[in-house]
Amino acid sequence: MVSVRMQPCVLTVLLLTVCSTFVSSLYFHIGETEKKCFIEEIPDETMIIGNYRTQLYDKQREEYLPATQGLGMFVEVKDPDDKVILSRQYGSEGRFTFTSHTPGEHQICLHSNSSKFALFAGGMLRVHLDIQVGEHANNYAEIAAKDKLTELQLRVRQLVEQVDQIQKEQNYQRYREERFRQTSESTNQRVLWWSIVQTLILVAIGIWQMRHLKSFFEAKKLV
């Protein structure tokens, strides 16, 4: 009975963990030629959606105002193998989407097209960035309208996709654990061989010193 009662609680904790892990929203400031990069740990076969909007600093009003359409952002995404999976120029406000095919750390970089926009020269830009990973990237209102789902059917679909995302995250954690174990074993093996080499070197030096001292004493006729 205890285990049966705990299962919904465990599932709720996992769902809350996924909800907090796969949604991130922030803002940052960049200069004219500055480039900002972020690292996202993403499981494989997972869709990522990034929404951003830019604000240009107005020196007269001393505040950030919505940037004009002429100012754009260049977005570049690299997978854990340093392979470019997205490289595209967007406007001052936009949305980029990509799907991960390799589990691990993905690098998301943004910088402005300031060289093409003279009004931004020497100024500061504030970028609001919202990254949604996995099922959080889905627009369930559009899905419900398109597939004509009831509220209960939509909720069940959300739960199924959340569980699927949890499974992907668990597989990714196993993948990380396996890589960490391989790294640890490789490191331990290298340390062992290095210790053996050090021991052999010390033994060889000791034998050489003994033979050298023996020949020295024999030459001096002390032995």
pLDDT in tens, 181-205: 888 999 999 999 999 999 999 999 9
The number of domains in the chain is 2
The CATH number given to whatever domain includes residue 118 is: 2.60.120.680
Percent of the chain with pLDDT over 90: 16
Q: Which domain does 181 fall in, by range?
A: 139-222
26: its two tokens: 């922030």
One domain for residues 60 and 151: no
Cα separation, 44 vs 22, in Å, equals 14
One domain for residues 84 and 161: no
One domain for residues 158 and 215: yes
One domain for residues 200 and 100: no
One domain for residues 203 and 116: no
One domain for residues 175 and 205: yes
Which bin fits 57, alpha (ψ -120 to 50), beta or left (φ > 0)?
Answer: beta
At 9 the pLDDT is 38
At 76 the pLDDT is 92
Q: Domain ends where: 92, 119, 137?
A: 137
Tell whether pTM > 0.75.
no
At 91 the pLDDT is 85
One domain for residues 159 and 197: yes
Cα separation, 78 vs 64, in Å, equals 30
Give the chain's radius of gyration (CA, Å).
29
4 inside domain? no
165 inside domain? yes
178 inside domain? yes
One domain for residues 76 and 130: yes
Residue 193, CB-side half-sphere exposure with 13 Å CA sphere:
5
At 19 the pLDDT is 42
Which residues of the chain carry a pLDDT beneath 70?
A: 1-24, 32, 69, 114-123, 135-144, 221-223
CA angle 104, 106, 108 (to 5 degrees): 170
